[in-house]
Chain A
């Protein structure tokens, strides 16, 4: 059945593709420069099958990709990973991004980044640094990232970023082991001189799906967390911008994932595959094109993966007839895949989905079971390049 629905969705999408329609222009590009990372966070957004160093794109290819992104209309590029500073050519890439007019954002774990390196990154012209904290205290950060001393190093990096005058965002991913620390994360951000904090509830794909039993908070914890964030947002208006990524297992409406598939952003993996979102590889049979073989514009416009769920034509009747269809964009395709076994189904986070009660039951069972051990993120066998 699922297969039939999938085939039907594709056929509809392909038929729609024959009619010339104005294509959206992407605003942002996530460049995952490498999957190498010293941390082992159990909710990592990288795929379970990580790209090895010898599969990574070379410098020249990345420089071309940044140029093509700028021409395509991308305004902001997010240099991420893995840990992007693991690439020795990071500064060269930053310089090039700045040269072609891209607003350049570094997303780092801040472990193993020396003051000298930060100075070079600053001089290369970085516009903004996002620094992850796995906990608001050393105990939690070091445990979640499975790296002793990580927290101390991050504090030092934050200080150095501010000393250099670069705007700083604190990135925190919250789940059962640190959801009670949200007020402390906010205090930490203020103390470090950040103007912005991201409080992102873990999203359950890939590694996080694998670790859902150890990560899922209770319903009460989630609702309390939402209230805490709302109150802080009001109190800190003009001082600290708080951006939240909402938890959706307990939600009524699905998140408008990526603000629509293939609509505003794209993601390039370390080996050059271009994805509509970082979890898209969890959907089997999607045909992702690679920057080694195609220009970014060709991929954005014509690759089967980008057109599979673009717009609203692919939607099932439940979404088609919904007044929120261009607000929620059908929710998340990867979640539909993970829970419904069908990437073209309504996101089970939506209360209209026949699987909504099932999703809630999964969350409640995971929250109650109280698994404590993480299956930490790692390469499937030790990577020689590490």
Chain B
């Protein structure tokens, strides 16, 4: 269990080793405070949607999952992409309502990022990896929260570096996007160093 958590946060980091959610990663990392808000939102959404999707996959979609209503030969796993997207959109809406009702301060802080998370590929990727690696429901909870923390860690560190980078004297063509890619590459190199700890 701890290996999954460890891998999710450091060695299998969704942003830095699987390139997931990189569009958002580059677009919303100009300021540390917004990156922090988005990071927390991703942890919460990932921690909720991956276990829910794991449950739906185990009960409805996996090959033979429908034997409890007497249809053991039906395999609905081809539907998982569209079902997962629907679940993610619904969970994000639901969380928006719940946060607005019970934790309005956090809801205000997350602002526009919460709805945007629906189309963040890190969220869908987390659920698809959960199916591909055959995690059981408990492992899915750990993987969901861990991968959310890993993504948040990456964007927060990147935003902090990027705030400093504004004062760097870089070649003109590298300013902005080009430099951001190179820095992300260096961070990815650093995170791959954690691979030695996993064994």
A and B form one complex? no
Interface residues of B (CB under 8 A from A): none
Interface residues of A (CB under 8 A from B): none
